[in-house]
Structure 1
Amino acid sequence: MKKTIAIVSLLILSSCQYFEKQVPDEDALLQKRLKEINWKEVSSYPSMAECDPILDKEQKKECFFELMARLVQEKLDLDTISMLYPEIDTINVKVTVYPDATLKFEPEMPTDSVSYNTTTIDSILKTRLVDFPKIEPAQKEGVPVTTQFILPVILDVK
């Protein structure tokens, strides 16, 4: 019994060195974590309810972009843009999704767009592109962030 107590006491005394390790500095840990984060890419892309069942990040992204393009196209199909400017078959729309899930649409006109009245096209976009389904904003490390992307919208000429 004395040998057992002596061995246990020896083990306890020798294990104290494991408790005396220095705790890393908080700022050093923060800087290390900030270097690990990829600041050019979001953790999750914006999403709509129809895309939520998809688990793969890239497929969910594709679903969101296809759904957004279809919704914008449907809202602009019955519009006067194709009648005012029949030579325009595609409009690039810059879409901004804010952290509070609000949307902003801006037309991206070609560089030779001197003949286009961008103010008219912009006002048409603002009046027609309303009442979208609820959109979950993109997230970076669990925090909602603002994202922007260019969405090519094909106008149907009727």
Structure 2
Amino acid sequence: MKQYYFFLVFIFFNSCQYFDKQIPSEKELLQKELKSINWKEVDEYPSVVDCEKIDDKKQRQHCFFEVLTMLIQEKLSVDTLSILYPELDTIEVKVTVFPNATLQFEPQFPKDSVAYDTIKIDSILKARLVNFPKINPAIKRGIPVKTQFILPVILKVE
């Protein structure tokens, strides 16, 4: 029976190492989790109602870009951009989708573009690109996030 007690005491003292482990601090766990997140990708891309029924992530993204490009082209096709700047057939538009589902559009011009009145084109875009259908913002880890992308918009369809 003494051997049994000796064995229990031996196990008891050796098992203390299992209770003496260091628990990582809250900041260490947070830093580790933040490093593991890919901040360049979102879990779900922005979407419109027409694209919600698509299950594949890439196809839904493609659908969203097509719908948004088509809406922008429709709104700009009735404008004077093609009359004022006949050589301008495509314009790149930087689209920002905010977490509250609002949109912002900014034309992107080459650095050396002095041939265009960028302020005038910007004001035309801001006046025309309004009243879009409801856009669902991008989702990252269950939280709506801001996303930006550049869409090439064709002004002249021949």
Using the size of structure 1 for normalisation, the TM-score is: 0.82
**Amino acid corresponding to residue 135 of structure 1 in structure 2:** I
Inter-partner Cα distance in structure 2 for 1:107 and 1:147: 16
**Distance in 2 of aligned mates of 1:44 and 1:83:** 39
Q: Which residue is equivalent to 1:138?
A: 138
Aligned to 2:66: 66
Indicate whether 1:53 and 2:49 are aligned: no
TM-score by length of 2: 0.82
Aligned partner of 2:87 in structure 1 is 87
Which amino acid is 2:129 matched to?
Answer: L
- What residue number does 1:42 align with? 42
Q: For residues 105-135 of structure 1, what are the alpha-carbon distances to aligned partners after superposition, in whole Å with 9 as ceiling and x for unaligned?
A: 1111223421211111111101110000000
In structure 2, the CA distance between the partners of 1:21 and 1:60, relative to structure 1 (3 Å rule), is farther
Distance 2:148 2:87 in 1: 27
Number of aligned residues: 145
Q: 1:42 offset after TM fit, Å?
A: 1.3
Which whole-Å CA distance do the structure 1 matches of 2:79 and 2:20 have between them?
Answer: 70
Deviation at residue 157 of structure 1 after TM alignment: 5.9
Q: 1:91 corresponds to which letter in structure 2? A: I
- C-alpha contact (below 8 Å) 1:86/1:157 kept by paired residues: no
Corresponding position of 1:117: 117
**Distance apart, 1:21 and its partner CA:** 7.9
Which deviates the most, 52-61 or 77-86?
52-61
**Which runs of 5 or more structure 2 residues have no equivalent in the other structure?**
1-7
In the alignment, the residues of structure 1 paired with residue 151 and residue 83 of structure 2 have an alpha-carbon distance, to the nearest angstrom, of: 21
Deviation at 1:64? Answer: 0.5
Distance 1:133 1:55 in 2: 21
